[in-house]
Structure 1
């Protein structure tokens, strides 16, 4: 059921005024500020990336100095005329590395509400139960490393699952009290739910901003779809747009997805073609995609004529099904059975933010306080 939206007028509250957040900065991080007439970027030039869930995204986005590029006045006016709708990908914010963390969620959602989304509509999306099964039927190695978390004796596994379920329910309750509708579709990953709803939001004439560190969302980037990602080194959310993408990769997002299908994705457990044809590397893949535009165009061309050297030609014809399977695994679906509700597009009432988040923070502090029962475990680390 969608969250109820109150239409009472009020000023946005800042839940961070009475809260001191831990600064997560690396001592080896250096910053550079690039200025233009229309936007400013602070990019991480050198950093020792953490092994957290944010790390994989930083490896493709962070550490990249973007050239100075301005937006035309026409683009700026056109963009400003469209209202924004935010999608909050909650699951990555609940973890530090592979460990669940209420503190991580607390920190990033506070910054998100107070500095990013403000009163714009926000739709929170969670992974559904058994969300990876469809892709694992195609590719058993898909996100196989995540199953290690539950490889414990039956009793322990049930306890861990119940704890994760309770923590998820608590976070859902917090979001609903902050007037954020919560979406969770059984058997579907949050990424696919977001991709499906993005299409519906765009059809209504809105702009979309996806709040997530997940690199998979880059395939959705367009003039009207942006990403805002949590940068641990800067301790802030940072926008990543189509202009940034083109400046970084000099291609459109569809080509990026095709490249990942050819080279594979180690983080998601998707093997690349180099495991079958060692000589087929990134340079070859980029050259072919630059000429043909997409994986499907490349495979169709290779089926009827020579598109490259003999080893590349044989790889593309012999392993076409292998590459198409990778595409089916890595491409976000747009056909999830979920339908956009009008009340999800209403300006978010922020009146509850301060009280709800403060109460949530206090409950976390009380939980973490040493007690006679757990004092010894704290003292022993």
Structure 2
């Protein structure tokens, strides 16, 4: 088994209070228009595109026959209610540049077309959240800024609060670890969880009751990613995702895969071995006493076992962050201020320009 995680003393979470926003008189909804420059995948010579959205009231509940009637003709169980976790930090960037415009655009789309009035909890990286993993692997997110002032802009937090979204941040931990911990608590209360983030780390949490919704810059929309999508993409179960990523690494986060040491050891080989042995630790323990594959794979598993175990510890999301779910976060979100708050936010920073 991988060595125990190094513990750090957490700081109590900073949670936004939504009571004042809820008590205020609802603002008159206005149409929200954002003008954003195209993402890096589009030629910089392209003219800016206009994005407009009005935050509509939630649609009436609709039930298909499949939802109401089971296969045996008996009434089907109603779907579990959903709770959304929003990974805020990645949404505040356009490419490698900070952008309030990118945040406003993705948030408006998220409220209007994804979460509607379902509960949303926003989670931010805490100060020093990367340090634990950087001690294990110095290359981990080494290209990203660090230290005070590198977190989310205070204006981002203000907008979330005004939209009645609680904000959670625990110093000493990354948002991923806080989301993983709170996800366990939400599932125990009988809810489903949807995690709004482009971060691949969350794929290790996918199950029947946990799915992702990811911002896709190329098409300018959020896209759901479920258990079915995962199995179709990787040809294995998400329970093996963490073990699989120890082999393939994560270049975006500075975590090299084993192919840098053994070029012939790719995803296909890793999936084949994990299907047979179930997990990285089982595979490494078996390879230590007998042959489990071709010579190059066998040699790699024996020679680089410590390397793979370190990747496992770096990539594994913590579930023991000292943060407690507040039952008030599970209530229907009051969305009456969404349109006016986001419109004011855009107007304040010059609507129609590339907001930074």
Superposition TM-score, scaled by structure 2 size: 0.79
Mapped to 2, the partners of 1:112 and 1:222 lie a distance apart of: 22
How many residues end up aligned between the 2 structures? Answer: 314
How far apart are 1:74 and its partner, in Å?
4.9
Partner residue, 1:110: 108
Question: Relative to 1, partners in 2 of residues 1:18 and 1:143: Cα closer, same or farther, differing over 3 Å?
Answer: closer
Partner residue, 1:290: 275
Partner residue, 2:259: 274
How far apart are 1:20 and its partner, in Å?
4.7
1:21-60 equivalent positions in 2, closer than 5 A = 21-22=35-36, 24=38
Partner residue, 2:60: none
Matched position secondary structure for 2:323: coil
Match of 2:97 among 90, 94, 99: 99
Partner residue, 1:4: 18
Superposition TM-score, scaled by structure 1 size: 0.74
How far apart are 1:90 and its partner, in Å?
0.6
Alignment RMSD (CA, Å): 3.1
1:127-166 equivalent positions in 2, closer than 5 A = 127-147=125-145, 162=149
Mapped to 2, the partners of 1:200 and 1:50 lie a distance apart of: 44
Mapped to 2, the partners of 1:310 and 1:108 lie a distance apart of: 48
Any gaps of 5 or more consecutive residues in structure 2?
1-14, 45-65
Question: Relative to 1, partners in 2 of residues 1:143 and 1:13: Cα closer, same or farther, differing over 3 Å?
Answer: farther
**TM-superposition CA deviations, 1:36-90 (whole Å, max 9, x none):** xxxxxxxxxxxx5899xxxxxxxxxxxxxxxxxxx99659954x52110000111
How far apart are 1:303 and its partner, in Å?
2.1
How far apart are 1:211 and its partner, in Å?
0.6
**TM-superposition CA deviations, 1:93-144 (whole Å, max 9, x none):** 1001111101001101011111111111000001111111000110001111
Partner residue, 2:195: 210
**TM-superposition CA deviations, 1:237-282 (whole Å, max 9, x none):** 1111111111222211132321210122211111222333334333
Match of 1:305 among 290, 293, 302: 290
Mapped to 2, the partners of 1:205 and 1:50 lie a distance apart of: 46
Any gaps of 5 or more consecutive residues in structure 1?
27-47, 52-70, 151-157, 370-381
Partner residue, 2:325: 340
Preserved contact between residue 122 and residue 181 of structure 1 (Cα < 8 Å): yes
Of the two structures, which has the highest relative contact order with CA contacts closer than 8 Å and spacing of 6 or more? 2
How far apart are 1:292 and its partner, in Å?
1.4
Question: Relative to 1, partners in 2 of residues 1:187 and 1:292: Cα closer, same or farther, differing over 3 Å?
Answer: same
Matched position secondary structure for 2:350: helix
